[in-house]
């Protein structure tokens, strides 16, 4: 697990799991289909990723499928960051 994946995983656990929620969340755990993050809450997760990584994720790429696991989210962030034009 790299730093990006760890940061996303920590955020998901902190923000989207209740104290008594004993579900284990790992890199491949389905977040959207698993009912941990819903499509509305995706917006705050997207905002977190954008702020943390200084990127802007196009809405067309912020799909439920792309946000369905920590690993796929990290891949999306890397793709978007790689396109960033240095200022």
The residues binding other proteins (CB under 8 A) are 15, 18-23, 30-35, 37-41, 43-44, 47-48, 50-51, 59-60, 63-65, 68
CB of 60 to other proteins, least distance (A): 8
45 token code pair: 């997760």
Q: Residue 39 or residue 79: which is nearer to other proteins going by CB?
A: 39
CB of 76 to other proteins, least distance (A): 15
39 exposed, middle or buried (CB, 10 Å; 0-12, 13-18, 19+)? exposed
Q: Tell me which residue of 77, 4, 72, 14 sits closest to 46, measured CA to CA.
A: 77
């Amino acid at each position: 697990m790299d730093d990006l994946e760890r940061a996303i995983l920590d955020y998901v656990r902190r923000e989207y799991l209740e104290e008594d929620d004993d579900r284990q969340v790992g890199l491949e755990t389905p977040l959207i289909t698993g009912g941990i993050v819903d499509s509305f809450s995706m917006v705050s997760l997207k905002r977190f990723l954008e702020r943390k990584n200084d990127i802007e994720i196009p809405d067309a790429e912020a799909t439920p499928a792309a946000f369905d696991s920590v690993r796929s989210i990290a891949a999306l962030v890397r793709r978007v960051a790689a396109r960033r034009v240095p200022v």
